[in-house]
């Protein structure tokens, strides 16, 4: 089967807008977690978030797009522009039906939806924007990107919480193997608004610690939930042969993927996450010894951290592989989190450096080789893990 | 209500507020008979615009007639018709 190459990428992360800003901060352990500024979070139990700094939509997007887009869609549109630009794709380079968009979403345009619900209940139905019909919708980022760039090939959206970011990239890979030349994929999410906050708090996994350096401590004995963030990453995927013909710069290859769903009760045997890892490695035709680094899901919920450490230990052995969670600098970005880790993995491969997990002292009984200072080592193959609330497990292998 | 009339400038203002300004189009030029599609406004933009007109002017526009109003002149005529009916 044809290899699928990453030929462009772009980032909007809480610790850096744009790939270079993100990567510079990430390598240096600079966190973007701070007090919520997008709304008054003081009455809420969780008051910290990772917010994308310096994003002014009107600087990048025409006024025609603003009344019809949620904050997350605006970030996604700009990130998509940058990713396509990074891949050197110009309109007309590739037939419009050979290019598609497959993104992940966790909640759709929450802030937009909240504003329209407020209008509905406080003023009446005639005050609800006509654009509510699609602006809230899960598939809206894929749709708006597709319209903006005339990408009319296979497109869609995957909704499986945090795992969705990997599931979308895997689906994009599938579409390229079926004949599409280029698919833009990944995820950009944001729901830092009262309604989004209420929903995330109801999920029961948000940290209520209000010190930015101790609020999100995956694999630490003090782990007590995560900080939520906004943003994510988009990647340009191309058939490797086509990319070669176009003379594209190649960051790496999407080499393997596995996804599983948790059983209602794990009955001894291997966990869903472990099975996903094994499927992904088999798909990439590599053994565990070929993996140079694992980008962890890093839930920061004690039993989930334990389950992840066990899955990694079962496949790689005790302290058998470097493990990192740069999301300790951004918070968990819902569907945007795993694509951001995929970008970090590709840049680790490019630069020979594993970015750190910040603020964390790994609990010794987890037997992880947790990277807490940037580590300069050659990286050729990386494994990215992502779990979605409700039982989704996904694993993706990227190779330089 | 009888002194209320709907002019092109009112439509321009509401289009901008509800649907933004299309790129490469001068809304301040003579657009009375230019199709909305040519101006860069799709059907949803018109739905939003007519909704705002209804709210601001306290009238109700027939959905079927709105769909057929493809130019600013047609929308302005439709609105003024409703305003005069309302003032009788």
Per residue in A120-169, pLDDT (tens digit) is: 999 999 999 999 999 999 999 999 999 999 999 999 999 999 999 999 99
Counted residue by residue, chain B has a size of 88
What does the alpha-carbon distance between residue A104 and residue A141 come to, in Å, rounded to a whole number?
Answer: 9
Q: Tokens representing A140?
A: 């809206």
Select the residue of B17, B23, B48 nearest A130 (Cβ to Cβ): B48
Q: Pick the more confident residue, A296 or B87.
A: A296
Q: What Cα–Cα distance (Å) separates residue A8 from each residue in A38, A139, A185, A233?
A: 30, 22, 10, 11
In this predicted structure, what is the pLDDT of residue B3? 58
Select the residue of A63, A65, A126 nearest B51 (Cβ to Cβ): A126
Please report the residues numbered 217 through 246 in chain A whose beta carbons come closer than 8 angstroms to any beta carbon of chain B: none
Select the residue of A64, A126, A129 nearest B40 (Cβ to Cβ): A64
Residues of chain A contacting residue B45, judged by C-beta atoms under 8 Å apart: 130
In this predicted structure, what is the pLDDT of residue A38? 97
Q: What residues are paired with A261 via a beta bridge? A: A392
Element (H, E) at A293: strand A293-295
Residue of B nearest to A65 (CA): B20
Query: Does the pLDDT of residue A72 top 60, yes or no?
Result: yes
Residue of B nearest to A69 (CA): B19
In this predicted structure, what is the pLDDT of residue A92? 83
Could you give the percent of chain A with pLDDT greater than 70? 98
What does the alpha-carbon distance between residue A254 and residue B30 come to, in Å, rounded to a whole number?
Answer: 53
Q: What Cα–Cα distance (Å) separates residue A339 from each residue in A170, A329, A345, B31?
A: 11, 15, 10, 45
Using the Cβ of B39 and the Cβ atoms of chain A, whether some distance falls under 8 Å is answered with: no
In this predicted structure, what is the pLDDT of residue B63? 87
Torsion angle of the four alpha carbons A32, A324, A141, A48, in this order, in degrees rounded to the nearest 10: -30
Residue of A nearest to B18 (CA): A67
Query: Does the pLDDT of residue A346 top 80, yes or no?
Result: yes
Task: Give pTM, 2 decimals.
Answer: 0.95
In this predicted structure, what is the pLDDT of residue B87? 61
Residues 6+ apart with CB under 8 A from B19: A64, A67, A68, B41, B45, B48, B49
Using the Cβ of A127 and the Cβ atoms of chain B, whether some distance falls under 8 Å is answered with: yes
The answer to whether the CB of A343 falls within 8 A of the CB of A252 is no
Residues of chain A contacting residue B54, judged by C-beta atoms under 8 Å apart: 126
What's the gap in Å between the CA of B21 and the closest CA on chain A? 5
| Nearest C-alpha neighbor of A114 from the set A189, A37, A197, A48 | A197
DSSP A162: B
Residues of chain B contacting residue A68, judged by C-beta atoms under 8 Å apart: 19-20, 44
| Nearest C-alpha neighbor of A114 from the set A156, A72, A54 | A72
In this predicted structure, what is the pLDDT of residue A266? 59
Burial class (CB in 10 A: 0-12, 13-18, 19+), A88: middle
Residues of chain A contacting residue B51, judged by C-beta atoms under 8 Å apart: 126, 130
Query: Does the pLDDT of residue A41 top 80, yes or no?
Result: yes
Q: Is A332 helix (H, G, I), strand (E, B) or coil?
A: strand
Residues of chain B contacting residue A66, judged by C-beta atoms under 8 Å apart: 20
In this predicted structure, what is the pLDDT of residue A263? 85
In this predicted structure, what is the pLDDT of residue B2? 47
Count of beta carbons in the 10 Å neighbourhood of residue A94: 18
The shares of helix, strand and coil residues in chain B, as percent rounded to the nearest 5, are 60, 0, 40
Using the Cβ of B14 and the Cβ atoms of chain A, whether some distance falls under 8 Å is answered with: no
What does the alpha-carbon distance between residue A372 and residue A353 come to, in Å, rounded to a whole number?
Answer: 12
ipTM: 0.89
Tell me the mean pLDDT in the region A173-194.
97
Using the Cβ of A126 and the Cβ atoms of chain B, whether some distance falls under 8 Å is answered with: yes
Rg (CA), chain B: 12
What's the gap in Å between the CA of A129 and the closest CA on chain B? 6
Give first-to-last CA distance, chain A, whole Å: 18
Using the Cβ of A314 and the Cβ atoms of chain B, whether some distance falls under 8 Å is answered with: no
Residue of B nearest to A68 (CA): B19
Please report the residues numbered 63 through 102 in chain A whose beta carbons come closer than 8 angstroms to any beta carbon of chain B: 63-68
Query: Does the pLDDT of residue A2 top 80, yes or no?
Result: no
The parts of chain B modelled with pLDDT lower than 50 are 1-2
pLDDT tens per residue across span A79-121: 999 999 999 998 788 999 999 999 999 999 999 999 999 999 9
Cα atoms in the Cβ-side hemisphere of radius 13 Å centred on A253: 18
Using the Cβ of A377 and the Cβ atoms of chain B, whether some distance falls under 8 Å is answered with: no
Using the Cβ of B86 and the Cβ atoms of chain A, whether some distance falls under 8 Å is answered with: no
Residue of B nearest to A62 (CA): B23
Using the Cβ of B66 and the Cβ atoms of chain A, whether some distance falls under 8 Å is answered with: no
Could you give the percent of chain A with pLDDT greater than 90? 95
Beta carbons of B23 and A62 less than 8 Å apart: yes
Residues of chain A contacting residue B17, judged by C-beta atoms under 8 Å apart: 67
């Amino acid at each position: 089967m044809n290899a699928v190459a990453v030929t462009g990428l772009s980032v909007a992360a809480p610790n850096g807008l744009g790939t270079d800003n993100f990567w510079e901060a990430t390598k240096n352990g600079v966190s973007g977690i701070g007090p919520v500024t997008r709304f008054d979070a003081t009455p809420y139990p969780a008051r910290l978030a990772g917010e994308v700094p310096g994003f002014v939509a009107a600087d990048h997007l025409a006024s025609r797009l603003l009344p019809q887009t949620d904050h997350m869609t605006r970030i996604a549109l700009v990130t998509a522009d940058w990713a396509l630009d990074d891949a050197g794709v110009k309109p007309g380079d590739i037939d419009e039906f050979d290019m598609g968009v497959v993104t992940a979403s966790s909640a759709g345009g929450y802030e937009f939806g909240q504003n329209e619900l407020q209008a509905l209940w406080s003023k009446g139905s005639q005050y609800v924007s006509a654009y509510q019909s699609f602006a809230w919708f899960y598939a809206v980022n894929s749709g708006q990107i597709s319209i903006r760039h005339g990408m009319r090939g296979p497109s869609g959206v995957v909704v499986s919480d945090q795992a969705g970011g990997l599931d979308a990239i895997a689906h994009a890979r599938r579409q390229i193997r079926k004949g599409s030349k280029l698919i833009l994929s990944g995820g950009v999410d944001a729901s830092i608004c009262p309604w989004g906050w209420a929903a995330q708090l109801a999920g029961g996994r948000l940290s209520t610690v209000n010190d930015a350096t101790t609020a999100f401590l995956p694999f630490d004995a003090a782990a007590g939930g995560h900080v939520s963030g906004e943003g994510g990453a988009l990647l340009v995927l191309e058939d490797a042969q086509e990319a070669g013909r176009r003379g594209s710069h190649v960051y790496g290859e999407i080499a393997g993927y596995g996804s599983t769903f948790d059983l209602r009760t794990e009955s001894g045997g291997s966990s869903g996450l472990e099975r996903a890892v094994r499927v992904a490695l088999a798909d990439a035709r590599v053994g565990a010894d070929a993996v140079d680094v694992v980008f962890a899901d890093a839930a920061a919920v004690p039993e989930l951290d334990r389950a992840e450490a066990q899955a990694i230990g079962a496949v790689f052995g005790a302290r058998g592989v470097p493990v990192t969670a740069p999301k300790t600098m951004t918070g968990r970005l819902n569907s945007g989190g795993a694509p951001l880790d995929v970008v970090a993995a590709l840049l680790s491969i490019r630069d020979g450096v594993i970015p750190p997990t910040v603020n964390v002292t790994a609990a010794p009984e987890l037997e992880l080789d947790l990277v807490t200072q940037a580590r300069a080592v050659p990286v050729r193959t990386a494994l990215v893990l992502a779990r979605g609330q409700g039982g989704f497990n996904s694993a993706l292998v990227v190779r330089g | 209500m009888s002194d209320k009339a709907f002019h092109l400038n009112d439509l321009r203002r509401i289009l901008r507020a509800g649907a933004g300004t299309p790129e490469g189009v001068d809304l301040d030029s003579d657009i009375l008979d230019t199709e909305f599609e040519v101006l860069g406004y799709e059907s949803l933009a018109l739905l939003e615009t007519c909704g705002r007109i209804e709210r601001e002017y306290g009238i109700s526009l027939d959905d079927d007639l709105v769909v057929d109003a493809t130019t600013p002149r047609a929308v302005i005529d439709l609105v003024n018709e409703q305003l005069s009916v309302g003032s009788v």
